[in-house]
Amino acid sequence: MQNIKVKHPEVLAPAGTPEKLRVAIDYGADAVYIGGDAYGLRSRAGNFSFDEMAAGAAYAHERGAKVYVAANIVAHEQNLAGAGAFYRHVRDAGIDAVIVSDPSLIETAITEAPGLKVHLSTQASATNYETLNFWKNEGLERVVLAREVGIDEIKEIRQHTDIQIEAFIHGAMCIGYSGRCVLSNHLSLRDANRGGCAQNCRWKYDLFDLPENGQKRELMGHGPDGQLEKFSMSAVDMSMIEHIPDLVDAGVDSLKIEGRMKTIHYVSTVANVYSTAVRSYCADPEHYQLDPAWVDELWKVAQRELSTGFYYGVPDENFQLFGKRRRMPRYTFVGQVLAYDKASKQVTVQQRNNFGIGDTVEFYGPNFAHHSQKITDLYDDQNQPIDRAPHAMQVVHFTCAQAVQPGDFMRANEN
């Protein structure tokens, strides 16, 4: 009996720098999203110049991938000047689409940069098919759903519209509705909706009552470890790795990973896992099984607890960061493979964190390639024996019995 195949959704990865763009694509992403020097919500990410956009688009297109530019600020009057020229430069750089939330900027992109495709940002809070059809009629190619939309709602939306649907599947969850929050504006004088979010919701706060006699009384109780439990608005991160069939069957066209400010360790790992899982399910949905190794892999780069967000109901207090963490990532990114000599079984590595003789390291590469080994010898770039590689970006080599490829990464268990 021939295996049934289903439509392969796009795995869309974040790329805060040109290096991360290349890594995400090499590790399986079908598309990446980046930021330019204006109009984006990650002003502190390593945003792209127009020349870097063009180089990134060329790299992606040569490998069958796409590049989108996030330009999703809520614009004030002073932000509008020059938008038309910005979009024309983006289009001419070969970018496949821009991700926009502000209606004025959407209109500018459509009218002043003809041919540039436009995707509606999650910041616009699209939660129903009537809204999606409205934006389709305005000329948009795709809508990124609000993060508050559930799986059953996506199924209903899919039945009533044929515009492309993009949905977040992994990464940080903003406590504000669809990311629209003013905590940073009030507490840090940084406009969250124009790229300056200080992530105030991640801070820890004391909570007091307001008695009539003017005496403050602390209201917080004690956590499991006996320490005073401070108040937090911080949500746990999202992970939908265990629910890929639900997302694909619901009709999601693009599966989006959050994290333009995350490391290449994060980008490579998460893109690798989700692209592997999606390929596996789409190739043979009838016999698909979740590989526990995929879940374990994501925990090697997780920053917080993981949950399914709003997909299966409204998150409760268990989806907030309170008390002692239940699980912690225990791996550190320590190096990138530059070369491998099969004859001598010597691997050349560029150091990214301190490692040395006696450490057990894990190599990983595209298509979920993995192997671990203990380092028994180590040499610097002058072929002099050393015990450790403590210097940033130091080039070293050592014996590696199993062949690895340039571009593979190396991590070490912190224990």
Q: Supply angle C-alpha 133, 134, 139, rounded to 5.
A: 90
Same domain, 256 and 347: no
Same domain, 64 and 208: no
Give the per-residue pLDDT at 278. Answer: 98
| Sign of the torsion formed by the C-alpha atoms of 91, 97, 99 and 103 | positive
Same domain, 60 and 169: yes
Same domain, 342 and 360: yes
**Residue 82: other Cβ atoms inside 10 A:** 11
Q: What is the CATH number of the domain that holds 384?
A: 2.40.30.10
Helix (H) or strand (E) holding 11: strand 10-14
The token duo for 229 is 């439990």
In a domain, 194, yes or no: no
Same domain, 74 and 215: no
Rounded CA-CA distance 368/272 in Å is 6
Same domain, 215 and 82: no
In a domain, 366, yes or no: yes
What domain range is 339 assigned to? 331-413
> Which of these three, 214, 234, 254, is where a domain ends?
234
In a domain, 300, yes or no: yes
Give the per-residue pLDDT at 306. Answer: 87
In a domain, 188, yes or no: no
Rounded CA-CA distance 340/347 in Å is 4
The token duo for 14 is 């974040």
Q: What is the CATH number of the domain that holds 61?
A: 3.20.20.70
Chain CA centroid to CA 327, Å: 20
Same domain, 267 and 149: yes
Helices (H), 75-141: 77-80, 83-92, 103-112, 129-137
End-to-end, the C-alpha distance of the chain in Å comes to 48
Answer left, alpha or beta for residue 122, where phi above 0 means left and psi between -120 and 50 means alpha: alpha
How does pLDDT run across 233-243, given as a tens digit for each residue? 778 889 999 99
Give the per-residue pLDDT at 207. Answer: 74
In a domain, 3, yes or no: no
In a domain, 217, yes or no: yes
How does pLDDT run across 148-167, given as a tens digit for each residue? 999 999 999 999 999 999 99
Residue 2 has pLDDT above 60, yes or no: no
Q: What is the mean pLDDT of the chain?
A: 89
Same domain, 338 and 259: no
In a domain, 339, yes or no: yes
Give the per-residue pLDDT at 336. Answer: 97
Same domain, 211 and 248: no
In a domain, 323, yes or no: no
Residue 124 has pLDDT above 60, yes or no: yes
How does pLDDT run across 13-71, given as a tens digit for each residue? 999 999 999 999 999 999 999 999 877 655 555 689 999 999 999 999 999 999 999 99
**Lowest mean pLDDT, pick from 189-193, 201-205, 351-355:** 189-193
Same domain, 229 and 239: no
Residue 408 has pLDDT above 80, yes or no: yes
Same domain, 277 and 161: yes
Number of domains in the chain: 3
Rounded CA-CA distance 46/181 in Å is 23
Selection from 23, 124, 114 nearest residue 70 by Cα: 124
Residue 219 has pLDDT above 90, yes or no: no
Same domain, 248 and 139: yes
